Structure 1
Amino acid sequence: MSSQPIHEARVAVSVEPGSYRIKRPGSADEVIELIKQHNIQIIDLKFTDLPGLWHHFSITLPEVHADLFSAGIGFDGSSIRGFQEIHESDMLLRPDPTTAFVDPAFNTPTLSIICDVMDPVLRQSYTRDPRYVARKAEDYLRQTGLATTCYFGPELEFFIFDSIRFGQDQHSGYYYVESSEGEWNSGRDEGAYGGGNLGYKPRYKEGYFPVPPHDTLQDIRSEIALTLLRVGIQVEVHHHEVATAGQNEIDMRFAPLTRMADNVMMYKYICKNIARKHGKVATFMPKPLFADNASGMHCHQSLWRNEENLFYDAKGWALTSQLCRWYIGGLLKHAPALMAFCAPTTNSYKRLVPGYEAPVNLVMSQRNRSAAARIPMYSDAPNARRVEFRCPDPSANAYLAFSAMLMAGLDGIENKIDPGDPLDRNIYELSPAEAEHIPQVPGSLEEALSALAMDHAFLKKGDVFTDDVIQTWLNYKRKREVEPVKLRPHPWEFYLYFDI
């Protein structure tokens, strides 16, 4: 978890003058200047599919001209998950010059640009482009007149493993994770790995903030953090996380909704590629290990009108405004439907179970990490006041998840939804009689999708989430994820039932 409050002024440090370029280009002309400055040879165009993975293709410098940033360039949309059918496959990408960055993953000098997806027939933004959904959410916020900006500060946790193997067919299925940090390797003969076993394996649930030699990933995290700075993403803190076997967290400084979703895509990309450079593998799968903590994406968020934080009130509970508490009310009321976007995998619900710091209880609190919505109390500064929604995980498509949370919060404000009394006790120590009255998040992706099917009117306000986006999401998740997992035997079922 971030040890510092967001929304407070900071100065970006620099080892050498000009070594970190926090400012990004703002126009096509500035992109051209960046190309000249870094002797760029290739332009890489990146965009996000509906589930939330980047795709790309590259062009050469003669193809970079003014029309590229206005008219766009064509691609086959039928080959992208959640996009077009084969009979309507032609699509356009329009690069956003404000997102250009020198790509750290390639040896050839390459400038990457995040693109918006366009419909070439309608000559307008494509409804199923996740980035378009995010931009519409920000537009809708401004149209309400409530605020000018929604800031997000997500805390993405992830694992760095030495290797991962998995497979399943008609007669077998397995996964195998390996990590030199894994507590399960405390008794392994590691002579074949370049020396004897040196111990110092973080114990289960005891991996939070250990120094080396327990923490073997400091240099890799530092390299990731410095690379993020170089591509224009300000980093606040990095550290080892609670789980054994290489769980990590690197916290980015808050940014407006769409920009932060762009940053999340860049963050995942850089983490994965730097891990690979070191012969390791990074994963944002929420629950890759049994019996230890999973990876979450706690989302700090606040509404601002120009320079004023609308979530602050010096006389309010936990220094929060009534508007903030209504926003929380919207998050809690719509949480079951939100989970379809915020915890969007079957694996997500291996994390959302009681214990393991899992925020399954739909209540608000100050400081209490067992609540779904909490008010961090690191600072009493007005600019630091925000709500931390703890249910999301890093498997989410950030564009869709952030947009859905904002829309739920705005619905809470519009309808003055009461979030209920704060619960500042340890929820896991409540008596059964007390606990049975506390609502919880869905217990499976299937339940979350059913909740979304029943509760999505709040998402459609301002045409932010269109019917085709919601229905395509429901169909994709049910047919491509829920049903295939249902059909396959689980290894533990053999333990339970083979001798029945």
Structure 2
Amino acid sequence: MSVQNVLSLIKEKSIEWVDFRFVDLLGKAHHISVPAVEVDESTFANGVAFDGSSIQGFKGIEESDMVMMPDTESAYIDAFTQHPTLIIMCNIFTPDGERYDRDPRGIAQKAEEYMQNAGVGTAAYFAPESEFFIFDEVRYETGINKSYFEVDSEEAFWNTGRKEEGGNLGFKVGHKGGYVPVAPTDTQQDIRSEMCRLMMEAGLRIERHHHEVATAGQGEINFRFDTLTKTADNLMKYKYIIHNVARQWGKVATFMPKPLFGDNGSGMHVHQSIFNGDTPLFYEKGGYANLSEMALHYIGGILYHAPALIAITNPSTNSFKRLVPGYEAPVNLVFSKGNRSAAVRIPVAAVTPKGCRIEFRTPDSTANPYLAFAAMLMAGLDGIKKQIDPSKLGYGPFDKNIYELSSAELSEIRSVPASLDEALDALQADSEFLTEGGVFSQDFINNYIELKRSEAKAVSIRIHPHEYSLYFDC
């Protein structure tokens, strides 16, 4: 969409405000709204100024002036504002016109450019499956003398005896019993459908939606793949719509990986492939799962760099509450066709040559999508460049149910890091694949590690409620 097309859209839809947005290191969106009557060609040429020192992980107060440069291709109409508003995603630049090397969206674009300049392919396609919970209520507090959380859902199995419903209507979702039941067990068909309707109005191609495995309102909506940066934009749009529709319905949505103890968590399985024009480069008939040698090398790069990669794709302390055996979490660094217990799965059902792809199942939605997709692409490209053969490194293929292996067999399989600190240690030791072509700067990586270490420390020094159960009577 050209600048003129955006300006025409503003007039055609009687837009009153233009909402310019950017994304911080943690993957959170920020915005500045400008009256539509003040937006013209110069706005797109000169950008919108903001204070970078007020954004965590960006600039110091002595060099705080920054500029948002709008990307007209990202424009869509906000479904939640009373006054007609157009949303436009932006890249971040310094006042002298240089790309800001800590801008996640800019890093995503540099990863795409690096792949193209290396002659690997013309486009990398991504499709995330971002799971979420829709709760009726959430309460939490942490302080010097108390620490707790509590969530609730009308469909949760722990509410079979609840009286507050005015006569309990039953049909609760059992523990791990929530995969695709129909109503009345699935109480959230209409709210997910409303989310999908607004996503389609905002330009997403929706493929399906359904209830997920966990009790208490776990769901999933799948939207169609696109190129790396566009998919990251779409995921930001996806989360924005889910959060706000839930709020309109008097509920609350969360993409937190493990909000419930003892039931399945929420992941973000990421499907990936590379094309050269219209030609799929991951397909080769007759190969393992019809994968090309390039695809296998890409998998090799993902699995070889996985410990460091996970610091970016699973960047929260809560991520590692999900990455434990027994809850469909892919903790084992192997690849397999159709096997959901592997970190890398190759879908084989109803797959065409153009649909041939790999699926990295470890990530979750605490990840900044621009950084996570860029890091995955860089790991895969390193595998292609170095011709990393995953089979020779012991990464599979592994077509057994890994969760049913003996301890001796499991000891032969490399696992994901056990904590955020371990993942950050791995990133500190293995980051050269990210800095190739200047995609990630070393300054960015050092700053990112420091920011995430502070999160890990903030959690580790606080008293956990379960410690009272274990130790109060000592």
Query: TM-score by structure 1 length?
Result: 0.93
Offset of 1:439 from its aligned partner? Answer: 0.1
Q: Distance in 1 between the 2:460 and 2:406 partners?
A: 34
Corresponding residue to 1:460 among 429, 435, 456: 435
Alignment match, 1:496: 470
Distance in 2 of aligned mates of 1:208 and 1:380:
23
Matches within 5 A, 1:51-450: 51-121=26-96, 123-190=97-164, 193=165, 195-420=166-391, 421-450=396-425
Helix, strand or coil: the match of 1:220?
helix
Identify which range, 362-371 or 58-67, moves more after superposition. Answer: 58-67
What whole-Å deviation, never above 9, does each CA across 1:454-490 have from its counterpart, x for those lacking one? 00000000100001110111010111x1011011010
Match of 2:13 among 38, 41, 57: 38
Question: What is the Cα deviation at residue 267 of structure 1?
Answer: 0.5
SS in 2 for 1:117: strand
Moved more, 136-145 or 415-424: 415-424
Query: How well do the aligned residues superpose, as a CA RMSD in angstroms?
Result: 0.8
Contact 1:158 1:248 in 2 (8 A): yes
Would the aligned equivalents of 2:124 and 2:228 in 1 still touch at CA under 8 Å?
yes
The 2-side partners of 1:387 and 1:70 are apart by 39
Matched residues in 2 for 1:62 and 1:129: separation?
28
- State the distance in 1 between where 2:189 and 2:443 align: 44
Q: Does the CA-based 8 Å contact 1:301-1:387 persist in structure 2?
A: yes
Q: Secondary structure at the match of 2:32?
A: strand
* Counterpart residue type for residue 378 of structure 2: M
Structure 1 residue matching 2:124: 3-state secondary structure: strand
1:366–1:374 CA contact under 8 A, matched in 2 = yes
Distance 1:317 1:222 in 2: 37
> Counterparts of 1:60 and 1:148 in 2: how far apart (Å)?
38
The SS at the match of 1:358 is coil
Unaligned runs of 5+ in 2: none
Number of residue-to-residue matches in the alignment = 470
SS in 1 for 2:333: strand
Q: Specify the SS of the correspondent of 1:403.
A: helix
Q: Would the aligned equivalents of 1:167 and 1:173 in 2 still touch at CA under 8 Å?
A: yes
**Cα distance in 1 for residues equivalent to 2:403 and 2:75:** 46
Contact map agreement 2:17 2:83 (CA 8 A) in 1: yes
Letter in 2 for 1:335: A
CA deviation string 1:30-72 (max 9, x = no partner):
1111111211111111110111000111010232011111211
- Give the secondary structure class of the aligned counterpart of 2:316: coil
State the SS of the aligned residue for 2:79. Answer: coil
Comparing 271-280 and 36-45, the one that deviates more? 36-45
Q: Distance in 1 between matches of 2:311 and 2:45?
A: 34
1:129-148 alpha-carbon deviations (Å, 9 max, x no partner): 10000000000010110111
Distance 2:98 2:351 in 1: 45
**Secondary structure of 1:361 counterpart:** coil
Query: Quick one: distance in 2 between partners of 1:57 and 1:120?
Result: 17
Is residue 236–residue 252 contact of structure 1 (8 Å, CA) maintained in 2? yes
AA at the equivalent of 1:210:
P
CA deviations on 1:270-295 (whole Å, 9 max, x unpaired) are 00000000000000110000110000
Secondary structure of 2:194's match?
helix
Secondary structure at the aligned position of 1:124 is classed as: coil
State the AA in 1 paired with 2:109: R
In structure 1, the gaps of 5 or more residues are: 1-25
Q: Which residue of 2 aligns with 1:12?
A: none
Q: Is the 8 A contact 2:126 2:227 kept in 1?
A: yes
AA partner of residue 327 (structure 1): Y
> What SS does the corresponding residue of 2:115 show, helix, strand or coil?
helix
The C-alpha deviation readout for 1:125-180, integer Å capped at 9, x for no partner, is 11111000000000001011011100001000000000101111111111010111
Q: Deviations over 1:68-87 (max 9, x none)?
A: 11211111110011110111
Q: State how far apart, in whole Å, the 2-side matches of 1:362 and 1:380 are.
A: 24
Write the distance in 1 (CA, Å) between the matches of 2:155 and 2:365.
22
Give the secondary-structure state (helix, strand or coil) at the position aligned to 2:343: strand
**What is residue 487 of structure 1 aligned with on the other side?**
461
Aligned mates of 2:291, 2:131 — CA distance in 1 = 27
For the 8 Å contact 2:16–2:37, the answer to whether it is kept is no
Deviation at 1:355, TM superposition (A): 1.0
For the residues of structure 1 that align with 2:34 and 2:355, how far apart are their CA atoms? 43
- Listed one character per residue, the Cα deviations across residues 179-221 of structure 1 (whole Å, up to 9, x for unaligned) are 111111111112xx4x211011100111000001111111110
Shift of 1:103: 0.4
Contact 2:322 2:329 in 1 (8 A): yes
> The residue matched to 1:43 in structure 2 has which SS?
strand
The whole-number CA distance in structure 1 between the counterparts of 2:172 and 2:52 is: 46
